[in-house]
Amino acid sequence: MISIEAIPAFEDNYIWLLKPGGGQAVVVDPGEAGPVIATLEQQGLTLVAILVTHGHHDHVGGIAELVRRYQPAVYGPRHEIVPFIKHPLGDGDQVTVGPLQLEVLDVPGHTAGHIAYYGHDSLFCGDTLFTAGCGKIFSGTSQQLYHSLKKISGLPTYINIYCAHEYTLDNLRFALLVEPDNDALKQRQQQTQSLRQRGLATVPSTLELELNTNPFLRCHSATIIAATQQKAGNILKNEEDIFRNLRQWRDDFA
C-alpha cells in the first residue's frame, strides 16, 4: 500500500509525498525544499526520488537543495529543460521505486512538455487538470490541452486526482457562472467551503467528480455549449472550439 500525503508550499501549492515503504520517500513537484526537508526529518524518511511534471519554478525551485542534501534520482519531462533531471521521461515510460510503479502520460498544453504520473489508482497531473478547472496555457496550445484532458477523461473514473494547487473554490465560482443550475456543482461548492473553513485540503478529488462538475471535461454538455456560445456571441463548430473559448472565458474571469 502506497501512502500519499500533501506537503503544503507557498500560498496554495501542494507537493505530494509518496511513501513506498522501508523509510523511503518520493516527492512530486517540490517547488521549495524547506517544507519537504521538515516533513522528511519529522517522519524519519529518506528522499530517494523526485518526480517533476513540468518546469515552472513553483514546481522545481526546491530540487537543487534536495539533490544537495539527499542525492535522489530526479525524473521529469523529456521535452522540457529542467535542471538536475537524470531520467527524462515521455508517454508510456515507467517509474519504479520499490513497490511504487507509475506510468508516464504526455499531457501537454499548460506547457509544451508537461507529463503526468499514473498508478495505484492515482494521477499526479501537475497543472494540467485542476479540481473543477484546468491549467492556463503557457508554452503549450489550447488544442494540446484539450486533447490532454480528453486523455485523462478516458482513465478509470474511480482514480484520485492529485493536482498541484488549492484552486477549487475559485474554479467552482467560474463553473457556477457557466452552469448555474448544476445541482452537483452547488453541492460540491458547499462541501468545498466546509473543508476550507476547517483548514482542510480539497485535493485529491476523483475523476468521477471532475467529470460531473468540471466544465473543461464537459465540453460535450448542452448547457456548457449553450453558455459558451452565448458568451462568444457566435456558433462554435466543435468541442475543441468550445474548450478554447471556455478557457479564454476563464482567463478573463476575475
By annotation, the residues acting in catalysis are: 54, 56, 58-59, 110, 127, 165
What are the two backbone dihedrals, phi and then psi, of residue 78, each rounded to the nearest 5 degrees?
A: -65, -30
How many whole angstroms from its chain centre is CA 183?
A: 25
Query: To 10 degrees, what angle do helices 168-178 and 239-252 make?
Result: 120
In whole angstroms, give the CA distance from residue 200 to residue 34.
21
Q: Say which DSSP state 215 is in.
A: G
Bridge partners (DSSP) listed for residue 81: none
Grid coordinates given for 8 = 503544503
What are the two backbone dihedrals, phi and then psi, of residue 8, each rounded to the nearest 5 degrees?
A: -65, 145
Query: To 10 degrees, what angle do helices 183-197 and 168-178 make?
Result: 160
**8: nearest Cα among 165, 184, 129:** 165
